[in-house]
Chain A
Amino acid sequence: MHGKIDFSALRVTVATSAALLASGCGGGALVANQPTRMCVDGAGRRIADANCGSARGGGAGGAHAYYVGRGQRVPEMGEVARGGSTRPSAGVSYSSVSRGSVSRGGFGRSAGFHGGFGGA
């Protein structure tokens, strides 16, 4: 019941599935579109930004800011952050994962942050 559909136009689908196959794991690998600041715990795992408060420095329980550059991977919640730095690069403006007034991590808990619910 279709006319001719050009499935080669499914660019996002094809690119996403190719990336998933290449990574060998599930995913949603996300790269930062701009220099990005987030919050990690004492073990380096990404946690909700509220744990770092609005302070640039440390938060409760060893929580502290972590910085990744444009094009670097943004870890999932609970995943150890790699490839970035605990210190911002001089002269670089970082968008938040917590630029003072922005909180993140308020959605996703029901899915456990890892692994989808699989729809219905």
Chain B
Amino acid sequence: MRRTPVAPRPDWQARVEALGLVWHSMDGRPYWDESACYRFERREIDEIEAATAELYRLFLAAGEHVLANDLLGSFGIPEPAWAAIRRAWGEEPPALNFGRFDLGYAGDGPPRLFEFNCDTPTSLIEAAVIQWDWKEAVFPALDQYSGLHEKLVDKWRDIAPLLPGGHVHFAHVADDAGEDTVTIAYLRDTAQAAGLATTAIRMEDIGWSHDARRFVDLGDRAIENCFHLYPWEWLLAEEFAPALLESLDGTRWIEPIWKMIWSNKAILPVLWELFPGHPNLLPASRRRLPGGDQVAKPLLGREGANVSILRGGEVVAETGGRYDESGWIYQALYPLRDFGGGYPVIGAWIVDGAPAGMGIREDGLITGNTARFVPHVIED
């Protein structure tokens, strides 16, 4: 694994915009950064791919453990949702079951899990589309670890018979950067490629029919299947939460409510308790670790918010945010390596248990929403 400079394409902004990446720059600096790339050997990709499959296996076991030991309350999940989570875990309603494992990796040891973003994962179009288009233009003879697009289409095709009406609503909020809006548009494309009809709807436009006791769209059409780029903990904290729980047989939410188990950082101490010393895990606890450098993360934090790095008991880096009321976990600090442009974090994608590709984001010691996405190639 190494990082080398690359000449950006002269028209790179127009090229990535044409494929949907309208948020390619922030505050005058590129978010999509093709002035460099990471180069991997095939064995390194094999190592990341194997770790991804292994971590999925560990998460399955951890999910079973959480339910068998009644830990949903300790995850901060509201009690009215517990029965629905148990039921969904057992019945497995249709889902893409996709997500992004964020891993520490530098080519000199096994990949280590930071967290699993599997409820509302983003940086999707960058990993699935933009970096492949870049590779084809700049390094057509090289390969890339990138099978996400096909796996998403295949998974939609797989679950399509389970989606009444063959129609899926895609719900999101209208964000200023356009990231959520375009990510939803891309996911609609993957569903349509599988033969499904789709409609976009903003979260605030979702209606509740008091007569039919079900959710409807702006045309008062029943929402049978709803993909949501909106966290479950928010869905359950808002006015329509009781209606949602009442109507789970009427509206299939994708991803399903059981994803609240895996997307909660309280799962990290559970994993370490079940698999202590596992080479793909970092020590994690609900209490401060007895010694050594560590990272404090909120249970329900996003984009690196409210994260603190503690060295020798002193805070050496921290981020602000609004996720500090959900409780904390402590995870041993992984020694990220600076390859010359910042600290890379591997985002290893998985679709229903199958490793599906990766993206790399560079930032400071805490990877947040100012990170840069840097493409990669595989050299054989």
Interface residues of A (CB under 8 A from B): 1-3, 5, 7, 9-17, 20-21, 25-30, 32-34, 36, 48-49, 74, 76-77, 95-97, 99, 101-111, 113-120
- Residue among B100, B120, B133 with most chain A CB within 10 A: B120
Given contacts A26-B176, A118-B369, A120-B121, contact A13 B238 (CB under 8 A): no
Taken together as a complex, chains A and B put the C-alpha atoms of A113 and B356 apart, in Å, by: 33
Contact A119 B229, CB 8 Å, known A2-B149, A13-B19, A16-B20: yes
CA of A96 to CA of B1 in the docked complex: distance in angstroms? 56
Establish whether residues A119 and B121, one from each chain, have CB atoms under 8 Å apart when the complex forms.
yes
Known: A12-B186, A28-B173, A102-B210. A76 touches B234 (CB 8 A): no
Contact A9 B189 (CB under 8 A): yes
Partner of A119, one of B17, B120, B207, B211: B120
In the bound assembly, the distance between CA atoms of A9 and B129 in angstroms comes to 12
Of the candidates A34, A99, A101, A120, which one forms a contact with B117 in the assembled complex, judged by CB atoms under 8 Å apart? Answer: A120
Report B146-158 CB contacts with A as 1/0, cut-off 8 Å. 1101100000000
- A87 CB to nearest chain B CB (Å): 20
Total interface residues on B, CB under 8 Å, equals 75
Q: List 24 A-B contacts (CB under 8 A).
A: A1-B144, A1-B145, A5-B132, A11-B192, A12-B188, A14-B19, A20-B181, A21-B22, A25-B176, A26-B177, A27-B176, A30-B205, A30-B218, A33-B218, A74-B205, A76-B204, A95-B218, A103-B207, A109-B238, A110-B237, A116-B172, A116-B229, A119-B179, A119-B229
Cα A86 to Cα B291 with chains together (Å): 66
Q: Which one of B19, B22, B219, B303 contacts A10 once the chains associate, using CB atoms below 8 Å?
A: B19
CB contacts (< 8 Å) of A34 on chain B: these are 219
Which A-B residue pairs are the 6 nearest by beta carbons?
A: A116-B175, A119-B122, A28-B174, A106-B240, A26-B176, A108-B204
Bound CA span A26–B26, Å: 13
Q: Which of B100, B174, B188, B220 contacts A99 (CB 8 A)?
A: B220
Residues of A within 8 A of B200 (CB): 28, 30
Q: Does B202 contact A (CB under 8 A)?
A: yes
Interface pair A111/B19, CB less than 8 Å apart: no
The answer to whether A13 touches B179 (Cβ under 8 A) is: no
Most central of A11, A21, A74, A110 by chain B CB within 10 Å: A110
Instruction: Verify A3–B150 contact, CB threshold 8 A.
Output: yes
B residues engaging A (CB < 8 A)? 17-22, 100, 117, 119-123, 125, 129, 132-133, 143-147, 149-150, 171-183, 185-186, 188-189, 192-193, 198, 200-211, 216, 218-220, 229-231, 234-235, 237-240, 243, 263, 302-303, 357, 369
In the complex where A13-B20, A28-B181, A32-B218 touch, is A107 in contact with B147 (Cβ < 8 A)?
no
A7 to B129, CA, bound (A): 8
Give the residues in chain A near B129, CB-CB below 8 Å: 7, 10, 13
A21 to B20, CA, bound (A): 10
Residue of B nearest to A76 (CB): B174
Give the residues in chain B near A30, CB-CB below 8 Å: 174, 200-202, 205, 218
- Contact partners of A29 in chain B: CB under 8 A: 174
Q: What chain B residues lie within 8 Å of A119 (beta carbons)?
A: 117, 120-123, 179-180, 183, 229, 302-303
**Taking CB as reference atom, which chain B residue is nearest A5?**
B149
Whether A16 contacts B185 by the Cβ 8 Å rule is yes
Question: Closest CB of chain B to A21's CB: distance in Å?
Answer: 6
Let me know if A113 and B173 touch, CB within 8 A: yes
* Other-chain contact of A109, B117, B182, B185, B239 (Cβ < 8 Å): B239
Return B21 CB to nearest CB of chain A, in Å.
8
Chain A residues within 8 Å of B179, by CB: 116, 118-119
